């Protein structure tokens, strides 16, 4: 059995039916064949059944899509026959009960600390993350102390000795600071141990993890959206949102069998999520016409495109101003050589700059860092194991950075 988790409350919407919308799962995704699966609230009660959405895997990671669940209170009494309403099946004797709780009832333990991870999406942008670990007291006695441990991938654990005073149901978030990450897929782990200096009554919720990947980033300050509608243009809608879920641009109620173009300004460097939906759930090709769409950079790089997406699909991507990480490099011709190397890497600029550098391994652990005001500098990795390392160089005057992949032979 696979269970998805969302730490936020679902949104009540009407998208061709009364639904609860989960905008983006905190952990996990739904896939084809999940239709009809239940949505549980934080009390363990079913409040909806999966009806549609764009949630799914993009490769091996969450695509950041949404899910719509038909609202149980609507399905309960809608229709005129047992074939179209739930009441006849779940309350055949007309008890008029409004809720049914889980059986057997949940056990409340005196000491029960729960771990969860916040501030970390399944798709991130940039070379650093700043998650927090949420500690929740599910026990009947006040939670005043615990050991919180975390690590990235297979790296060593860091321990935070937390103290506080959480009553039953209360939570606290503990920030872990910035962690360097590598491209590709990574996992952040958190565990709570020794709550109130004793054994947890229900240790099954003491651990949490988030699998995430780094989104593809593009050097652009604008994106170009093109849409060719099918025979039901009014069914198609789309949004472009920033990392704070604010809508940057959107569109709906299009004419049939028509092509539309729109250039969109991206107000700042960061993460953006594009989502396109079809209200009927049959995409924009090919039974009712030959519709299609694309989102590109101004240099014609395709961010996402498609047509046969059924209910919808989405993508998260990074965007930054042209040369925002490379303009100090282009002006000063920063080079790293030899690469690959047996251990000594030369960092050279044609003009001297006041720079900082940091080298970290693929676990996100910093293994070298320093600064230089010279036009040349050596980085010694001769004592490190063979493999791939990441070098980040920062111009202290502008805070602009350049990343390199170092290969130690």
Q: Are 91 and 183 in contact (CB under 8 A)?
A: no
The C-alpha atoms of residue 336 and residue 169 are separated, in whole angstroms, by 53
Residue with tokens 């005073």: 165
The C-alpha atoms of residue 310 and residue 65 are separated, in whole angstroms, by 13
Q: Are 312 and 378 in contact (CB under 8 A)?
A: no
CATH architecture of 218-320: Sandwich (2.60)
Check pLDDT > 80 for residue 36.
Answer: yes
pLDDT in tens, 316-365: 999 887 544 444 444 455 788 898 899 999 988 766 778 888 898 876 77
Answer with the residue of higher pLDDT: 319 or 102: 319
Q: Would you state the pLDDT for residue 165?
A: 97
Minimum mean pLDDT among 107-121, 234-248, 340-354: which range?
340-354
C-alpha distances out from residue 2 to 38, 52, 69, 188, 245, Å: 12, 18, 17, 19, 27
Check pLDDT > 90 for residue 112.
Answer: yes
Q: Are 303 and 243 in contact (CB under 8 A)?
A: no
Which CATH number applies to 113-214? 2.60.40.10
Rg (CA), the chain: 26
Quick check: do 113-214 and 218-320 share a fold? Answer: no
Query: What is the pLDDT of the chain when averaged over all its residues?
Result: 87
Q: Would you state the pLDDT for residue 168?
A: 95
What is the assigned CATH class of domain 327-408?
mainly beta
DSSP assignment letter at 166: E
| Domain parsing of the chain, residue ranges | 11-90, 113-214, 218-320, 327-408
pLDDT in tens, 42-69: 888 899 999 888 888 755 567 778 899 9
**Token pair for residue 314?**
């989405």
Give me the percent of the chain exceeding a pLDDT of 90.
45
pTM greater than 0.85 = no
């Amino acid at each position: 059995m696979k269970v998805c988790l969302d730490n936020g409350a679902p949104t009540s919407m009407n998208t061709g039916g009364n639904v609860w919308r989960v905008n983006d799962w905190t952990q996990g995704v739904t896939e084809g064949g999940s239709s009809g699966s239940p949505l549980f609230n934080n009390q363990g009660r079913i409040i909806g059944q999966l009806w549609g959405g764009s949630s799914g895997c993009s490769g091996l990671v969450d695509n950041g899509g949404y899910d719509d669940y038909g609202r149980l209170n609507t399905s309960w009494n809608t229709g005129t026959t047992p074939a179209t309403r739930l009441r006849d099946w779940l309350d055949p004797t007309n008890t008029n009960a409004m809720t049914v709780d889980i059986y057997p009832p949940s056990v409340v333990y005196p000491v029960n600390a729960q771990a969860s991870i916040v501030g970390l999406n399944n798709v991130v942008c940039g070379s650093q993350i700043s998650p927090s670990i949420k500690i929740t007291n599910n026990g009947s006695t006040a939670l005043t102390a615990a050991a919180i441990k975390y690590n990235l991938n297979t790296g060593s654990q860091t321990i935070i000795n937390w103290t506080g005073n959480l009553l039953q149901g209360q939570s606290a978030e503990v920030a872990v600071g910035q962690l360097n990450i590598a491209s590709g897929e990574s996992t952040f782990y958190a565990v709570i141990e020794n709550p109130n200096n004793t054994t947890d009554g229900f240790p099954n919720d003491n651990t949490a993890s988030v699998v995430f990947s780094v989104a593809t980033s593009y050097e652009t300050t604008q994106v170009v959206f093109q849409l060719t509608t099918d025979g039901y243009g009014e069914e198609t809608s789309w949004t472009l949102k920033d990392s704070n879920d604010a809508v940057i641009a959107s569109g709906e109620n299009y004419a049939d069998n028509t092509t539309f173009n729109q250039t969109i300004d991206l107000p700042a460097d960061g993460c953006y999520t594009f989502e396109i939906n079809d209200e009927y759930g049959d995409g924009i090709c090919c039974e009712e016409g030959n519709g299609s769409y694309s989102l590109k950079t101004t240099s014609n790089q395709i961010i996402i495109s498609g047509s046969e997406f059924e209910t919808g699909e989405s993508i998260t991507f990074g965007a930054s101003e042209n040369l925002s990480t490379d303009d100090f490099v282009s002006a000063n011709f920063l080079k790293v050589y030899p690469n690959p190397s047996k251990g000594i890497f030369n960092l050279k600029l044609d003009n001297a700059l006041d720079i900082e550098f940091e080298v970290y391994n693929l676990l996100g652990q910093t293994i070298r860092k320093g600064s230089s005001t010279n036009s040349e500098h050596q980085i010694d990795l001769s004592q490190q194991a063979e493999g791939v390392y990441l070098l980040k160089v920062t111009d202290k005057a502008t805070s602009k950075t350049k990343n390199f992949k170092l290969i130690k032979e």
